[in-house]
Amino acid sequence: MEQSKLISRVIAKLRIAYPYYFKELDEEMLLGLIKMYQDQITGYTPEIVLKAIDEIIRTSKFMPTIADILEKCDSQAKTYTFDILKIMQEDGYFKRGAFGELGENQAIRNYEKATMWLSKGIIPEWLLEDMKKYGYKVNTLLPDKGEEPKKVGSVNGNVRLLEA
């Protein structure tokens, strides 16, 4: 989804949820708001942004600030990443060793190491490849006109460039 379409959907949802905020907003102010959102809300997949907006709408009586939106996006990205690890654990991924099945204690240590890396904003390349097999999607920053998309991974809201 193109960034301008994403921001349009975000503004449309917020407009419906918080009509009072938009009541007195003139066209120039609205264009400024859209530009600010385009500049600030970057580095997340459209799914994460839209889930964050839906969560804000469900829980907040007041129009969110950009900081509120980014905080919720970080939370959604973190939850998504740790959900993938949980799926891997339930599938027995952390019990698989090079020479057969590992014991329960070693599997727990492997899972804890993976969660520790994610908490520090680190995803080793081999783990990233395995996470992709379980459905992890690497975020794609929407490019400026004439640029190629840049691939990034988001861990705890820390966006890291994977390839230039």
Q: Under a CB-based contact definition with an 8 Å cutoff, are residues 25 and 33 in contact? A: yes
Write the pLDDT tens digit of every residue in 103-140.
999 999 999 999 998 888 778 888 889 998 988 876 54
Residue type, 137: K
Could you list the residue range(s) of the whole structural domain that residue 103 is in? 3-163
Dihedral Cα 133, 126, 80, 78, nearest 10 deg: 180
* Nearest to 127, CA basis, from 153, 150, 103: 153
> What angle (nearest 5°) sits at the alpha carbon of residue 163, between those of residues 157 and 164?
110
Report the pLDDT value the prediction gives residue 155, as an integer from 0 to 100: 46
The number of distinct structural domains making up the chain is 1
Residues linked to residue 150 through DSSP beta bridges, in sequence order: 141
Position with higher pLDDT, 149 vs 74:
74
pLDDT 10s digits, 49-87? 999 999 999 999 999 999 999 999 988 888 888 889 999
Hey, what are 83's tokens?
């959900």
Q: What is the CA 152 to chain-centroid distance, rounded?
A: 11
Contact, 76 vs 55, CB < 8 A? yes
